[in-house]
Amino acid sequence: MRTVALLPVKSFGMAKQRLGHAFPDRPALAAAMVADVLEALAAVPSLDGVIVVTAEPIAADIAGRMAARVVHDPEESGQSDAAARGIAAALEDGAQRVLLVPGDCPALDPEEVEALLARTAPVVIVPDRHGTGTNALLLSPPDVMTPAFGEGSFERHSRLARTAGTEPEVADVRTLGLDVDTPDDFAALKRALATFPGGAVRTRALLDEAVAA
């Protein structure tokens, strides 16, 4: 089954505004996290490709250097619309299944993603660490339902799957739960990286530089 990962990535100047003063250089952090996620996805055997949906030139450059397809997002009207653009592009490429992944999970473990891809349900939802949002969606076929991210998206995606005639499967993927939107999320990522043996090379380096400074 041809499977493609989709990453909607907003412009770095608008990224991570809810972090406040938790990290001083938010664009640099966003770039490091996207690169780390792409590197992790490149190590997943069952993925046949990666599509990055973005209007951010730096993200597009990173994606191009890491052999991902770039789909321009001229409107930047939100994660759901970017996901829809990515799904349309994946269908054009002949994808039979898509994995929607956030670009801010730098600790992403390729083995955990591979295990997720072993699931066969038409809709698999990976909740965020709070259990109310959605950190990843595995959709087969790619247009089985229309993603609707945002606050409370876990329940919304569950309802959409049932409306589409399928019972959603829920998967707990540890490293996909470590997205970074708030200072608490950032603190959770730092704690996790202190215990994980590898991965997130660029994000780790950036955090080390910040501590050294």
Find the largest Cα–Cα distance for the chain: 54
- The residue written with tokens 């952090």 in the block is 29
Q: Does the annotation list 158 as a binding residue?
A: no
Phi, then psi, of 166 in degrees rounded to 5: -140, 145
Nearest-CA neighbor of 94 among 142, 62, 129? 142
Whole-angstrom Cα distance, residue 30 to residue 38? 12
Helix (H, G, I), strand (E, B) or coil at 42: helix
Q: Omega before 141 cis (within 30°)?
A: yes
Give the separation between CA 111 and CA 109, rounded to whole angstroms: 5
Residue 150 among known ligand-binding residues: yes
The answer to the question of whether 134 is labelled as a binding residue is yes
Nearest-angstrom CA–CA distance, 181 and 15: 9
Give me the half-sphere count of Cα atoms (radius 13 Å) on the Cβ side of residue 164: 21
Q: Which residues contact 43 (CB under 8 A, 6 or more apart)?
A: 110
Binding site: residue ranges? Answer: 134, 150, 153
Binding site for phosphoenolpyruvate: residue ranges? Answer: 134, 150, 153
